[in-house]
């Protein structure tokens, strides 16, 4: 995380706070997640080098960059076109080359490149989107904040066994921006 440099992903006015362990505002009323939460979620995915990972909510691209350094291929979807465009050019300028970007509603996942070894969602949904569950490989893990957008939210770890059965584990209380729909 230190090597990625959160400072590169912040608006100029907030660069001084890059090392603060708190979420910060980015464009379009969205946030860059708290570093502790980025680390915690990444860690829970038990990533391996050859993995293909789906991320919903590119935002600033900070989490995307971290995933990019840990796995073979990252597929990242962002629903707000301005954020998607900015994150893509930022990450390309920084030299990240194993990320495929898409602008659109992550609710439907990215069928073309499924199944994924791991899925990370960084916006809070009321329920797990069924397409994401379907696009998780057997033996894979998904991490997603679930709850009411202005109320109680819980980070959930969803594990799919080798035989395809689902196990849900509640991890931490969290506060994420809402999972939006087009
Ligand atoms: N990981 C990002 C978090 C950004 S906040 C970072 O640390 O910078 C969550 C992001 O999810 C926002 O950019 C928001 O626009 C995006 N988002 C919300 N709903 C979405 C959806 N249905 N599909 C794709 N992206 C979505």
> How far from chain centre, in Å, is Cα 26?
15
Pocket of ligand 1 (CB under 6 A): 30-33, 56-57, 59-60, 62-63, 77-80, 83, 105-107, 122-123, 177, 179-180
Cα gap 63→170, rounded to integer Å:
21
Q: Is the CB of residue 69 less than 8 Å from the CB of residue 47?
A: no
Positive or negative CA dihedral for 162, 166, 171, 172? Answer: positive
CA of 168 to the centre of ligand 1 (A): 22
Half-sphere exposure at residue 9, Cβ-oriented, CA atoms within 13 angstroms? 32
Mean pLDDT by 10-residue block, N- to C-terminus, for the chain (182 residues)? 96 96 96 97 98 98 98 98 98 98 98 98 97 98 93 96 98 95 90
pLDDT at 150: 79
Check whether the bond before 16 is cis (ω within 30° of 0): no
Give pTM, 2 decimals: 0.98
Residue nearest to atom 4 of ligand 1 (CA): 59
pLDDT at 164: 97
pLDDT at 16: 97
CA of 79 to the centre of ligand 1 (A): 7
Phi, psi of 77 (to 5 degrees): -115, 135
Q: Is the CB of residue 51 less than 8 Å from the CB of residue 72?
A: yes
Cα gap 80→156, rounded to integer Å:
24
Q: What does each C-alpha distance from 148 to 16, 29, 168 come to in angstroms?
A: 32, 18, 18
Residue nearest to atom 2 of ligand 1 (CA): 59
Q: Is the CB of residue 135 less than 8 Å from the CB of residue 54?
A: yes
pLDDT at 94: 98
pLDDT at 48: 98
Ranges of each domain in the chain: 6-173
β-bridge mates for residue 169, sequence order: 157
Residue 33 bears catalytic tag? yes
pLDDT at 63: 98
Q: pLDDT per residue over 92-132, tens digit each?
A: 999 999 999 999 999 999 999 999 999 999 999 999 999 99
Q: Which two tokens stand for residue 80?
A: 């707000």
Superfamily of the domain at 6-173: Vaccinia Virus protein VP39 (3.40.50.150)
Residue nearest to atom 14 of ligand 1 (CA): 57
């Amino acid at each position: 995380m230190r090597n990625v440099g959160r400072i590169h992903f912040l608006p100029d006015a907030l660069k001084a706070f890059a090392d603060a362990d708190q979420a910060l505002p980015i464009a379009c009323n969205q946030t860059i997640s708290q570093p502790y939460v980025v680390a915690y979620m990444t860690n829970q995915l038990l990533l391996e080098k050859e993995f293909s990972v789906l991320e919903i909510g590119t935002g600033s691209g900070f989490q995307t960059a971290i995933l990019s350094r840990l796995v073979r291929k990252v597929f990242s979807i962002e629903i707000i076109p301005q954020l998607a465009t900015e994150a893509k050019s930022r990450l390309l300028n920084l030299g990240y080359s194993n990320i495929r970007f898409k602008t659109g509603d992550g609710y439907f996942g990215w069928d073309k490149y499924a199944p994924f070894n791991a899925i990370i969602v960084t916006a809070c949904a009321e329920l797990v989107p069924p397409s994401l569950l379907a696009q998780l490989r057997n033996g894979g893990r998904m991490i997603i904040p679930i709850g009411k957008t202005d109320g109680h939210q819980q980070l959930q770890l969803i594990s799919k066994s080798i035989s395809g059965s689902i196990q849900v584990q509640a991890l931490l209380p969290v506060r994420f921006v809402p999972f939006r729909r087009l």
